[in-house]
Amino acid sequence: MTDSASVTASADTAHDWSSRFTALGSAFFTHLNPSPLPAPVWVGRSEAAARSLGLPPSWLDSDEALQVLTGNQLLDGMKPLASVYSGHQFGVWAGQLGDGRAILLGQTPSGDELQLKGSGRTPYSRMGDGRAVLRSSIREFLCSEAMHGLGIPTSRALSVTGSPAPVRRETIETAAVVARTAPSFIRFGHFEHFAARDDQIALRSLADHVIDRFMPECREHPRWPGKPYAALLEQVSERTARLMAQWQSVGFCHGVMNTDNMSILGLTIDYGPFQFLDTFDPEHICNHSDSQGRYAHQRQPNIAYWNLFCLAQALLPLIGEQDEALAALESYKTVFPAAFEARLRDKLGWHQAQPGDGERIDATLRLLAQQRIDFTIFWRRLSGAAASADYAPVRDLFLDRRAFDDWLPGYLARAQAEGGAPDAALMLRSNPKFVLRNHLGQQAIDRAQAGDMSEVSTLLRLLERPFDEHPGHEAYADFPPDWASSISISCSS
Ligand code: AMP
Ligand code: MG
C-alpha cells in the first residue's frame, strides 16, 4: 500500500466533486490526501444518508466505496483538504486548532460536504495522531443518524469503516473512519480564527461565503437593511436557539460545547462524549473530562449563548457597532424559551400557547427531576396514556405516587381548556420510543470490537425511525441496566 490515496474514476459517482469551500482561498485550508488504513471493513452504512446526498445506495456495496470512505482511494475530481480554525475550549481561548483528524473530500451531488474523520494527520493535528477509534466512531455514526431521525439539525453519517490498525488511547484500540456530511462544517471557531489574527479580508470572505450559500436573506433583511453581518449573527443566534430547544427537549447532552464544535448553520456537529439522559437529572455531566460541569445538561442553553457572544466579538469588525451586535444576539433570549416551550407543549400534547404554560412546563420538569424519572420512558408512556386514557403505567414510574396524583389533574385540565384530551398522535410523533442510550451504543461497540457488526445495523434501523413502534424490539426502549451508570465517556476518542 502507498502512503497516499490513489485516484480512480467511477461511473456511479462521476460528478464534479470539487468543494465550494476551496473558493475561499489558501488562507483557509491545506490540500492533502488522507492516509490509508490497512484491511478496511464496513462497520455501518446508511443508505438513507447516501440517498439524501444524491449517491446511489448500491455504491455502498462496492469495494470502491469501502476504499474511498476509508481514505484509501480518491474519486476523480476530489481535492481533499483540512481547514484551519481556532476556538474557546472550556471557556478559555485555545488559539489555533483546525481539522486535526478530519479531511474534506469534496462536495456530493446534493451539494453537501463529504468529510472523513480519523483519516490521518494534518497540519492541524498538533500532538494528535489524526486517527479515531472504533468505539467513538460507532457512536458518532449512530448518533448522527439518530438525531436526523429525531428531526434535529445535524451532520449526517454515510458510513463507518474499521481497520485492524492499532491506535493508542488509554489502551490500544483499533482505527476507524466516519464518513460524515453537512451542507458546511464551518464553525464559530473559523470566524474566531481570522478575527484573532485581525485578518478582516478573510473574515469578510468567510461571512460572505456563508451568507451567499446558506443565508442569502441576510442581504435584504427587513430588520437589518444594509447590515448583512448583523443579520448573519441574528440568523445564527436563532438557529442555535432552536437547536438548543431541540436538544433540551430530548434530553441530549453534547458534552463538549467548545466554540470550535459549534456549527455556523445551527447543526449538531462533532459527536464526542455525548449522552441521552436516562433518568432526568438537569445537572447531569456526560463528559468525564468536564470536571467543573461547564457543559452539564441544563447549562447547555446558556453556554450556547456564551459561544454566540464569542462569535459576535469575532464578527464585530464587520458589524461595526457594538450595540448592533448585542441587538442581534438579543434574539436568542426570546427564540430559545419560545422554541423550548413549543417543543414541550408538543410533548405534552397541548396545542396553542396559553398563559402559565412556562410555569406548568417548569413544574413538570421539576417533578421529573425530583422523582428521578426516566426521561424518554416518561414521555412515551405519557403519550400512550393520552391515547388509552389509562395513566397507570405513567404513575408506576413514580416512587412517590402522590406526587404524580397531584400533578395529573392540572395536566388534564390544561388540555381540557383547549377542549379535550391531550393530543396523543402529536405526542407519539414528538416523544421518541428509541434514543441512543449509552448502554445501547456500548453493546453495539462491544459486539463490533469482537467482529460482529449486526448490532450497529439493528440500532441504525431503530434510530432512523425512533417514533415508530418497531414490534419485537421492546428491549431497546426499556430502562437502562444497572451497569449503564458506570459507563464512563471522556474526551478520549
Ligand atoms: P474535539 O474537542 O474532539 O472536537 O477536538 C478538538 C481539536 O482537537 C480539533 O482541532 C480536533 O481536530 C483535534 N483532535 C482531536 N483528536 C485528535 C487526534 N486524535 N488527532 C489529531 N487531532 C485531534
Ligand atoms: Mg471538534
Indicate the pLDDT class of residue 7, thresholds 50, 70 and 90: confident
3-class SS of residue 149: helix
Phi, psi of 107 (to 5 degrees): -105, 130
Residue whose CA lies nearest to ligand 1 atom number 14: 100
Q: Cβ(270) to ligand 1 under 6 A?
A: yes
For residue 61 the three cell numbers come to 456495496
Q: Cβ(133) to ligand 1 under 6 A?
A: no
Residue whose CA lies nearest to ligand 1 atom number 8: 100
Indicate the pLDDT class of residue 3, thresholds 50, 70 and 90: low
Per-residue pLDDT, 488: 87
The atom number, within ligand 1, closest to the CA of 98 reads 10
pLDDT digit string, tens, across residues 337-365: 999 999 999 999 999 999 999 999 999 99
Residue whose CA lies nearest to ligand 1 atom number 16: 128
Task: Name the residue ranges covered by the structural domains of the chain.
Answer: 8-185, 186-431, 438-478
Residue 260 is a catalytic residue = yes
pLDDT digit string, tens, across residues 19-62: 999 999 999 999 999 999 999 999 999 999 999 999 999 999 99
Cα 202 to middle of ligand 1, angstroms = 24
Cα 124 to middle of ligand 1, angstroms = 9
Q: What spatial distance separates the first Cα and last Cα of the chain, rounded to whole Å?
A: 26
Indicate the pLDDT class of residue 474, thresholds 50, 70 and 90: very high
- Say if residues 238 and 246 touch (Cβ distance below 8 Å): no
Indicate the pLDDT class of residue 309, thresholds 50, 70 and 90: very high
Per-residue pLDDT, 491: 84
Q: Cβ(128) to ligand 1 under 6 A?
A: yes
pLDDT digit string, tens, across residues 385-409: 999 999 999 999 999 999 999 999 9
Indicate the pLDDT class of residue 419, thresholds 50, 70 and 90: confident
* Cα gap 234→315, rounded to integer Å: 11
- Say if residues 487 and 442 touch (Cβ distance below 8 Å): yes
The atom number, within ligand 1, closest to the CA of 272 reads 3
Cα 343 to middle of ligand 1, angstroms = 33
**Mean pLDDT of all residues in 55-74:** 97
Q: Cβ(99) to ligand 1 under 6 A?
A: yes
The atom number, within ligand 1, closest to the CA of 102 reads 12
Residue 9 has pLDDT above 70, yes or no: no
Sorted by sequence, the CB contacts under 8 Å of residue 428 that are 6+ apart come out as 383, 384, 387, 467
Q: Cβ(119) to ligand 1 under 6 A?
A: no
Which letter does DSSP use for residue 297 in this model?
A: G
Percent of the chain with pLDDT strictly greater than 70:
98
Indicate the pLDDT class of residue 264, thresholds 50, 70 and 90: very high
Cα 414 to middle of ligand 2, angstroms = 43
Counting ligand 1 atoms within 8 A of each CB, the residue from 126, 258, 261, 288 with the most, and so the one to mutate, is 126
Counting ligand 1 atoms within 8 A of each CB, the residue from 133, 258, 260 with the most, and so the one to mutate, is 260
Of 99, 112, 260, 278, catalytic? 260
Residue 1 has pLDDT above 50, yes or no: no
Phi, psi of 452 (to 5 degrees): -110, 110
- Average pLDDT in the chain: 97
Counting ligand 1 atoms within 8 A of each CB, the residue from 29, 35, 86, 125 with the most, and so the one to mutate, is 125
The atom number, within ligand 1, closest to the CA of 130 reads 20
**Mean pLDDT of all residues in 311-338:** 98
List b or e across 175-212, with b for residues whose CB sees 16 or more CB atoms inside 10 angstroms.
bbbbbbbbbbbbbbbbbbbbbbeeeeebbebbbbbbbe
* Cα gap 309→327, rounded to integer Å: 11
Tell me which residue of 472, 56, 489, 61 sits closest to 458, measured CA to CA: 472
User: How many Cα atoms occupy the beta-carbon half-sphere of 209 within 13 Å?
Assistant: 22
Sorted by sequence, the CB contacts under 8 Å of residue 421 that are 6+ apart come out as 349, 386, 389, 412, 415
pLDDT digit string, tens, across residues 78-110: 999 999 999 999 999 999 999 999 999 999 999
Residue 310 has pLDDT above 90, yes or no: yes
pLDDT digit string, tens, across residues 216-260: 999 999 999 999 999 999 999 999 999 999 999 999 999 999 999
Residue 6 has pLDDT above 90, yes or no: no
Per-residue pLDDT, 453: 98
Residue 454 has pLDDT above 50, yes or no: yes
* Cα gap 179→117, rounded to integer Å: 6
Element (H, E) at 426: helix 424-428
The atom number, within ligand 1, closest to the CA of 261 reads 4
Cα 190 to middle of ligand 2, angstroms = 12
